[in-house]
Amino acid sequence: MATKPKPKAKAVVDRAEALKQAVAAIEVMDATPEARARARKLMTENGDMWRASYEVADGALVVWIEAMQATGLTKELYTLECKRLKQELLTDKDGPLEKLLIGQVVLAWVRLMYIDQFYTAVFSGKEGVTFERGMFWERRLTLAQKRFDQATVSLARVRRLLQGPQAPKNLNLAIFNQQAVSSAYDRRR
Amino acid sequence: MGWETRKGGCYYYTKERIGSRVVSQYVRSLETAVLLDSFRKEIREEREIERASKAAYRAEVEALDAMSDEVFEMAQSLTNLTLIALGFHRHKRTWRRKRDGDETQT
């Protein structure tokens, strides 16, 4: 069943799509000197590219938090927690790309928490769960976990590439609500 | 389950599954039958509403997931663009940079 996307979510998708298109249009993946020059040109000419990408990521975060079936206070706490996580993940050596990837890690974490909350509610409900419904939430949780893993690996990898051997080897995942993250993983084993 | 016409008359029957068989049970009193019928209708309507809201909710979660995927893909594109601009290239699915004959890789 397809529903009309909410205006805020649609705005986020449109802006993300536009940025993606702009990057795809210059075809840089062959990494030739010309492609490198095209990439540099695009980045110089679009100085607000980073700002736009932060806005897209922040917009997505707001949409997820607003969609939560929780009180205003809980939503506010989630917003503050996201801010804290971003600050804790940021190091002095991080540039704009790392900052964007930190936003992705936090977004993936919120998504994982949200899906895990419903997964737990569905599977611990007294009325039981149908196979189809169970599969739906199982798939959603798997995807959310995969995205969280990918986001953390991306950040660690980019740091290692851009900051060299001095970059922290591991991401300090202890700053996340570790219990919640590990229970989301353990619950399905 | 519900009103059934038998031998020209209208009678109310409830259906119950016992093992592999479905057993019909006649509801004798008319008042009870009417009450039971409206009660069952209400339950059915409630279930319909619940089913519809669950479907709508699932669709919303799918839309949120799609939005996130779009944002992740955007971040991935920007990461690739930046790394290429900084002189990296991909070799066998790993990023490398040639630096004074030395190769950094992850």
Indicate whether A182 pLDDT > 70: no
What pLDDT is stored for residue A126 in this prediction?
Answer: 80
Among A88, A84, A16, CA closest to A54: A16
Question: Is any Cβ of chain A less than 8 angstroms from the Cβ of B67?
Answer: yes
Contact map slice: A 62-91 vs B, CB within 8 A? 63-64, 67
pLDDT digits (tens, 9 = 90+) for B13-51: 888 888 889 988 888 777 777 887 888 889 889 989 888
What pLDDT is stored for residue B101 in this prediction?
Answer: 43
Among B20, B76, B80, CA closest to A150: B76
Question: Is any Cβ of chain B less than 8 angstroms from the Cβ of A147?
Answer: yes
How many residues belong to chain B?
Answer: 106
Q: Where are the domains of chain B?
A: 2-91
In a domain, A35, yes or no: no
Residues 6+ apart with CB under 8 A from A42: A22, A23, A26, A49, B81
**Tokens 């790392």 found at:** A98
Question: Is any Cβ of chain B less than 8 angstroms from the Cβ of A151?
Answer: yes
Q: Which string of DSSP letters, residue by residue, matches B28-86?
A: --HHHHHHHHHHHHHHHHHHHHHHHHHHHHHHHHHHHHHHHHHHHHHHHHHHHHHHHHT
Indicate whether A80 pLDDT > 80: yes
In a domain, A58, yes or no: yes
Distance, in angstroms, between A187 CA and closest chain B CA?
20
In a domain, A12, yes or no: no
Indicate whether A46 pLDDT > 80: no
d(CA A150, CA A104) in angstroms, rounded, equals 10
The residue of chain B nearest to residue A95, with distances taken between CA atoms, is B82
**Tokens 């419903």 found at:** A118
Highest mean pLDDT among A114-118, B8-12, B24-28: A114-118
- In eight-state DSSP terms, residue A171 is -
What is the pLDDT of chain B when averaged over all its residues?
Answer: 82
In a domain, A24, yes or no: no
Count of the separate structural domains present in chain A = 1
Domain span holding position A58: 48-186
Q: What is the pTM of this model?
A: 0.75
